[in-house]
């Protein structure tokens, strides 16, 4: 881990201590008090030793951060900080300060600087401590750089080293619960699991590899890659699908949004994320997720973990705007539309006059396939409960 830079500084206690030693020294020299000179000389030792040892403590110390890969809003995520002592002798009083800031978040977030204190790290060993952060808001966050410091041994002088270790974390939107009404409405018949193909057989073309996930067949394991990477790697195959589901997320908010407007946006994002997650656990579907924007963003593919990941990734950083080109969205949907599909437009404007824009711009041939729902409608709360 590449250090950024290094710095030593007097702490507050060190400043008082130094002033005291200087005062005693001057008094002793002025009045020729030999014992005081001796005491002042003895008190100088801790300052010099601290100056040297504080820097030496940080040598041979490596710090690493371990984060979970993904997390959804509302979860408390553990962050492990591990300190490795490459030296033969113990190192004491090592403090590690991390830094977490929002790289992209809906609302501005304050910076967090968690501190961890390692009283002792024996030579050749490591110590690991964990701190947990509650992430209430979706978005992309960045951890780092790490700062390790030590005031060993006397707490008078602090040596600090900044390490270039930044980790990005994407916090997915909060997931809620889809009710049975939703299931009945959009998924009346179980899809794609019986009679269509044998379990374990991957019908599609192999196009990539990914990490093994629960549910993957052992036949899909790419053994050579797994041995090389030390973890199970499976092949990815394209999955032919029978049913298409189009979800359009209307990221709209007034030009000067109120608190309720922001909440509604979050609610629809959470709903969209929940729908995507639910759908991606159902094989045999083709999902198209379109987010309004300029230009509109679309993620589509057969429902699988990769599509889910891509969709949630996009939803995590989705931002609302007061200008939405409904026509452009309908055009992109119409282009890809082929046959019976469910088209759901989730909009914070649903149930208001503003939602009329959607119906006004919708292509005629899609009229029977799409519907708009939103937090202001009763059925929204029938379909979805926030997490």
- Which of the residues 144 through 173 are near other proteins (CB under 8 A)? 151-156
Q: Helix (H, G, I), strand (E, B), or coil: what is residue 86? A: coil
**Residue 269 interacting with other proteins (CB under 8 A):** no
Tokens of 246: 């189009």
Given candidates 8, 13, 186, 282, which one binds other proteins under the rule CB under 8 A? 13
Distance (Å, whole) CA 84 – CA 192: 50
DSSP H helices, the chain, are 12-31, 34-58, 180-186, 223-229, 259-279, 305-316, 326-336, 356-361, 378-383
Minimum gap (Å) between residue 31 Cβ and other proteins: 6
For residue 305, give the nearest of 272, 284, 286, 277 by alpha carbon.
277
Total count of residues recorded for the chain: 387
Minimum gap (Å) between residue 251 Cβ and other proteins: 15
- Which of the residues 166 through 225 are near other proteins (CB under 8 A)? 174, 206-208, 210
37, 29 contact by CB (below 8 A): yes
**Residue 100 interacting with other proteins (CB under 8 A):** yes
Beta carbon nearer to other proteins, 33 or 221:
33
Tokens of 181: 């009404």
- Which of the residues 343 through 362 are near other proteins (CB under 8 A)? none
| CA-CA-CA-CA dihedral for 119, 120, 126, 128, to nearest 10 | -20
Beta carbon nearer to other proteins, 47 or 232:
47
**Residue 108 interacting with other proteins (CB under 8 A):** yes
For residue 347, give the nearest of 360, 357, 337 by alpha carbon.
357
Q: Could you say which DSSP state residue 365 is in?
A: G
**Residue 245 interacting with other proteins (CB under 8 A):** no
Beta carbon nearer to other proteins, 108 or 189:
108
Minimum gap (Å) between residue 70 Cβ and other proteins: 12
Distance (Å, whole) CA 150 – CA 94: 5
Distance (Å, whole) CA 276 – CA 298: 13
| 245 strand-pairing partners | 287, 342
**Residue 9 interacting with other proteins (CB under 8 A):** no
**Residue 4 interacting with other proteins (CB under 8 A):** no
Beta carbon nearer to other proteins, 308 or 341:
308
Minimum gap (Å) between residue 195 Cβ and other proteins: 27
**Residue 253 interacting with other proteins (CB under 8 A):** no
Tokens of 264: 């509604």
**Residue 272 interacting with other proteins (CB under 8 A):** no
Minimum gap (Å) between residue 201 Cβ and other proteins: 19
Minimum gap (Å) between residue 163 Cβ and other proteins: 14
Going from the C-alpha of 139 to that of each of 174, 177, 375, the distances in angstroms are 11, 21, 21
Minimum gap (Å) between residue 11 Cβ and other proteins: 9
Q: Could you say which DSSP state residue 174 is in?
A: P
Query: How many other β-carbons are positioned within 10 Å of the β-carbon of residue 22?
Result: 12
With vertex at residue 135, the alpha carbon angle to CA 73 and CA 305, rounded to the nearest 5 degrees, is 40
Minimum gap (Å) between residue 12 Cβ and other proteins: 9
87, 103 contact by CB (below 8 A): no
Given candidates 66, 113, 177, 322, which one binds other proteins under the rule CB under 8 A? 113
- Which of the residues 297 through 336 are near other proteins (CB under 8 A)? 297-301, 304, 306-307, 309-310, 313-314, 328, 331-332, 335
Given candidates 165, 216, 250, 266, which one binds other proteins under the rule CB under 8 A? 266
- Which of the residues 67 through 96 are near other proteins (CB under 8 A)? 73-74, 76, 89-90, 92-93, 95
**Residue 120 interacting with other proteins (CB under 8 A):** yes
Distance (Å, whole) CA 308 – CA 299: 9
Residues that bind other proteins (rule: CB under 8 A) add up to a total of 101
- Which of the residues 28 through 47 are near other proteins (CB under 8 A)? 28-29, 31-46
Beta carbon nearer to other proteins, 108 or 190:
108
């Amino acid at each position: 881990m590449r250090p950024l830079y290094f710095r030593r500084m007097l702490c507050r206690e060190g400043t008082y201590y130094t002033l005291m030693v200087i005062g005693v020294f001057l008094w002793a020299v002025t009045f020729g008090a030999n014992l005081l000179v001796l005491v002042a000389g003895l008190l100088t030792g801790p300052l010099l030793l601290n100056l040297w040892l504080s820097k030496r403590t940080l040598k041979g110390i490596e710090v690493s951060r371990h984060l979970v890969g993904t997390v959804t809003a509302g979860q408390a995520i553990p962050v492990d900080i591990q300190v490795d002592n490459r030296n033969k002798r113990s190192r004491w009083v090592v403090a590690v300060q991390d830094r977490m800031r929002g790289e992209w978040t809906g609302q501005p977030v304050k910076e967090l600087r968690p501190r961890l204190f390692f009283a002792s790290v024996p030579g050749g060993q490591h110590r690991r401590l964990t701190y947990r952060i509650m992430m209430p808001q979706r978005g992309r966050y960045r951890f780092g750089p790490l700062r390790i410091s030590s005031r060993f041994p006397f707490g008078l002088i602090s040596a600090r080293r900044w390490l270039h270790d930044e980790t990005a974390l994407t916090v997915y939107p909060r997931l809620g619960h889809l009710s049975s009404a939703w299931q009945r409405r959009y998924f009346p018949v179980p899809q794609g699991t019986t009679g269509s193909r044998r379990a374990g057989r991957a019908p599609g073309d192999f196009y990539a590899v990914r990490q093994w996930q629960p549910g993957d067949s052992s036949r899909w394991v790419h053994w050579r890659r797994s041995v090389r990477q030390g973890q199970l790697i499976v092949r990815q195959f394209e999955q032919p699908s029978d049913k298409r589901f189009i979800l359009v997320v209307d990221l709209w908010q007034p030009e000067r949004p109120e608190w309720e407007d922001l909440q509604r946006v979050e609610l629809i994002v959470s709903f969209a994320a929940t729908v995507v997650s639910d759908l991606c656990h159902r094989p045999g579907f083709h999902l198209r997720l379109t987010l309004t924007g300029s230009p509109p963003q679309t993620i589509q593919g057969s429902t699988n973990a990769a599509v889910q990941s891509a969709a949630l990734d996009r939803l995590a950083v989705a931002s609302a705007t007061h200008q939405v080109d409904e026509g452009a969205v309908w055009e992109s949907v119409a282009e890809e539309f082929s046959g019976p599909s469910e088209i759901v437009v989730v909009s914070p404007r649903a149930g208001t006059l503003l939602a009329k824009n959607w119906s006004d711009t919708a292509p005629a041939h899609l009229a029977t396939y799409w519907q708009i729902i939103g937090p202001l409608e009763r059925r929204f709360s029938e379909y979805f409960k926030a997490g």
